[in-house]
Structure 1
């Protein structure tokens, strides 16, 4: 049986992650309140930001920036777009 959580992004019960994405309090908070779908969507958005903005994961500022963006993403706030990003037409 899959584990469910009240997803803070979608505000409904959804399938949860199988384990915390990383150790510590932040990883546990994500495990307890973020759905598997929302986490996968965040990873895709984070990858796009890293690639399009040419961010270095060795830079402490990048880590702070991504933590802030992750909080915005799960709280449904306006996100920082990649420079020159044009969303695909549906």
Structure 2
């Protein structure tokens, strides 16, 4: 049976992660309080931010920015979105 957590973002019991996604206390907090669904959504959103805003991951300011956005996203707060992003049209 899959492990469940009370997800901080969605405020309900959902499937949890298999292991902490980051080292240290921050990774443990995410493991204990964030659902697998919310984490996958964050990874997709983070990728979009990096690509659309042309962020340089070698820059410490960028890492700080992404960390702040991750906290906001996973806590259900207002977070930055990629300006001008247009999702691809479905081929239905």
- Same fold, judged at TM 0.5 (above): yes
Question: Structure 2: where are the runs of 5+ without partners?
Answer: none
Report the counterpart of residue 58 of structure 1 in structure 2: 58
Residue deviations 1:15-42 (CA, integer Å, cap 9, x gap): 0000000110000000000000000000
Q: CA deviation at 1:85?
A: 2.5
Report the counterpart of residue 13 of structure 1 in structure 2: 13
Residue deviations 1:27-79 (CA, integer Å, cap 9, x gap): 00000000000000000000000000000110000110001001110121112
Q: Say if 1:6 and 1:39 are closer, same or farther in 2 by CA, change over 3 A.
A: same
Q: CA deviation at 1:83?
A: 2.8
**Over aligned residues, Cα RMSD in angstroms?**
1.6
TM-score normalised by length of structure 1: 0.92
Report the counterpart of residue 48 of structure 2 in structure 1: 48
Question: How many residues matched?
Answer: 90
Report the counterpart of residue 34 of structure 1 in structure 2: 34
